[in-house]
Amino acid sequence: MLFLFNKRLYFLNKLPTTFSIKDLENLSGIKAHTIRIWEKRYNILIPERTNTNIRSYNLANLQKLLNVTFLYNAGLKISKLGKLSNDEIKEAVLDLAAKKGDKDYYLDELKLSMVTFDQFKFEQTYSKMISEMSFREMFTEVFIPLLEYIGLQWLSDSITPSHEHFVTSLIMQKLLINIERVQSVQPNKGKVFVLFLPDNEIHELGLLYLNYELSREGHQTIYLGPSVPIASLESIVACYPELCFVSYFTVSPPKSEVDSYLKAIDETLLTRHDLSLNLLGKNAQEATYSSDRIKVFNDVVDMLNKITV
């Protein structure tokens, strides 16, 4: 199965990839009218044109634009960049990224690996990052911005679900490897954390990262994963009477049902066993249900600082 998956990616990488000027705007953050100016005045890009004179850009154009944008944002003048060859631009990017350890450079590299379904490029970029920063820094300062970027690009149709699934599966692989590493050490803290997602919630990257951080800090974790019914949590309580629940609401329960879900888990589980639930996620922010046993956090760092004390 793995061979077939990698073979499929190989053929995907061989497919021609073209982008509209709107795609370039969304992927680079540079407005379309600015791209046109750079193209006309400085020959930054050389697009192809359809019979109706609509611009079309290939992968080399996209890569060059991302590189130019990186250097431009670092303070280099576009008039100077327009005089450099493609190789000189790439060399300048690598030199600057090496000096700064710049997260934006890595973010651009991961974007390229995503839009071209290039697993090898992702692995190369990951290897560079892990040699310069901790996994925590990588996840919070590169992977999370990438995932947020993906969420925004869905709105503009610049990427497809296939792009998201491709890159998130690779990030998940790295998470699992790092979780396995930190869990090879015996837990040395008293708290036991049970991590689960509610019914119909399958977005587990955030929860997996919490699992990594809690394990890294020496806590015992019980990771249940996606779509766990409230009733099934009772069996965990029977084994570990002193524990702390952690969950992540991204799309489920729906915003209109968040309070009813919290009321149900509070009355049927938390109050009966004197336990607590800690929440993260977009839909968790919609909660208005009030209970001393339920806490909603805005970000991972804040939650970890509070629940691991």
The yes-or-no verdict on residue 226 having pLDDT over 90 is yes
Residue listed under structure tokens 């339920």 = 294
What's residue 138's pLDDT?
Answer: 92
**What does each C-alpha distance from 59 to 63, 95, 117, 182 come to in angstroms?**
6, 22, 12, 39
pLDDT tens readout for residues 161-209: 888 889 999 999 999 999 999 999 888 877 899 999 999 998 899 999 9
Q: In the numeric block, which tokens belong to residue 5?
A: 């998956």
User: Mapping DSSP to helix (H, G, I), strand (E, B) and coil, where does residue 247 land?
Assistant: strand
DSSP codes joined into one string, 160-222: -HHHHHHHHHHHHHHHHHHHHHHTTSPP-SS-EEEEE--TT----HHHHHHHHHHHHTT-EEE
Q: How sure is the predictor about 5, in pLDDT bands with cuts at 50, 70 and 90? A: very low
In this prediction, residues 83-88 reach a mean pLDDT of: 87
The yes-or-no verdict on residue 102 having pLDDT over 80 is no
What's residue 72's pLDDT?
Answer: 87
Of 8-17, 89-98, 250-259, the range with the lowest mean pLDDT is 8-17
Q: Kindly give, in sequence order, each residue whose CB lies less than 8 Å from that of residue 127, ignoring residues fewer than 6 positions away.
A: none
Q: Kindly give, in sequence order, each residue whose CB lies less than 8 Å from that of residue 304, ignoring residues fewer than 6 positions away.
A: 210, 213, 214, 217
Buried b (16+ CB within 10 A) or exposed e, 138-156: bbbebbbebbebbeebeee
**What does each C-alpha distance from 74 to 94, 102, 105 come to in angstroms?**
13, 10, 11
In this prediction, residues 64-79 reach a mean pLDDT of: 86
The yes-or-no verdict on residue 215 having pLDDT over 90 is yes
User: Please, are residues 156 and 26 in contact by the beta-carbon 8 Å criterion?
Assistant: yes
Nearest-angstrom CA–CA distance, 146 and 104: 10
pLDDT tens readout for residues 152-162: 665 455 677 88
Nearest-angstrom CA–CA distance, 197 and 204: 7
Q: How sure is the predictor about 15, in pLDDT bands with cuts at 50, 70 and 90? A: very low
Q: How sure is the predictor about 99, in pLDDT bands with cuts at 50, 70 and 90? A: low
Q: How sure is the predictor about 11, in pLDDT bands with cuts at 50, 70 and 90? A: very low
Query: Which range is most confident: 48-52, 85-89, 97-101?
Result: 85-89
Q: Enumerate domains of the chain plus CATH numbers.
A: 16-99 (1.10.1660.10), 101-182 (1.10.1240), 187-307 (3.40.50.280)
Alpha helices in the chain (DSSP H): 2-14, 21-28, 32-42, 59-73, 78-81, 86-100, 103-115, 119-130, 135-138, 144-156, 161-182, 205-216, 234-239, 258-265, 271-273, 300-307
Average pLDDT across the chain, whole number = 85
